[in-house]
Amino acid sequence: MKKKTVLTLFIAVFVIGTVMAASAGDRLNAGNALLPGQHLISQNRIYTFSLQKDGNMVLRKAESLKSKKKHILWNSGTSGPVDKLLMQQDGNLVLYHGGKAKWSTGTNGNPGAYFIMQNDGNAVVYSKNNKALWSTNTPQ
């Protein structure tokens, strides 16, 4: 009986950890990153910003809360191997592979900036004073 309880607990922790690892909430604060296969999701759960395993960053809108069908609103056009999408301490959102930048928002010089997937479908880098510095320009 004790072995069964321990096994059930282990499986529950593994599943919860896997689900949580796939989604990083709705924002990346300075020093945080998305890994390939992870995504941000708006608080209303309609919009996702994903770092795909093929190296492309894609923003999608769900048809409805219950629908699995999604429409692409924006993509970075990047491809190939990537390591992470990092919200740097200097305010720049950068896609890296092998320690080299493949893509960035060019928003350095803004320490404390953060990146958020908003409820209106726009993904935005904001300064610590909530000034928009860069966006996907996809509000719905």
State the residue range of the domain holding 39: 24-135
| Predicted confidence band of residue 16 (pLDDT cuts 50, 70, 90) | very low
Percent of the chain whose predicted confidence (pLDDT) is above 70: 80
* Mean local confidence (pLDDT), 82-110: 98
Q: Over the stretch 46-66, which tens digit does the pLDDT of each residue have?
A: 999 999 999 999 999 987 666
**Angle 87-93-99 from CA coordinates, rounded to 5°:** 85
Residue 124 belongs to some domain of the structure: yes
Tally of domains in the chain:
1
pLDDT of 69 reads 75
pLDDT at 125 over 60: yes
pLDDT at 29 over 60: yes
pTM: 0.81
Which stretches of the chain are assigned E, i.e. beta strand? 27-28, 33-34, 39-41, 47-51, 57-62, 70-75, 84-87, 93-97, 100-104, 114-117, 123-126, 132-135
Residue 13 belongs to some domain of the structure: no
CATH number at residue 126: 2.90.10.10
* Mean local confidence (pLDDT), 104-118: 98
For residues 64 and 32, the model is more confident at 32
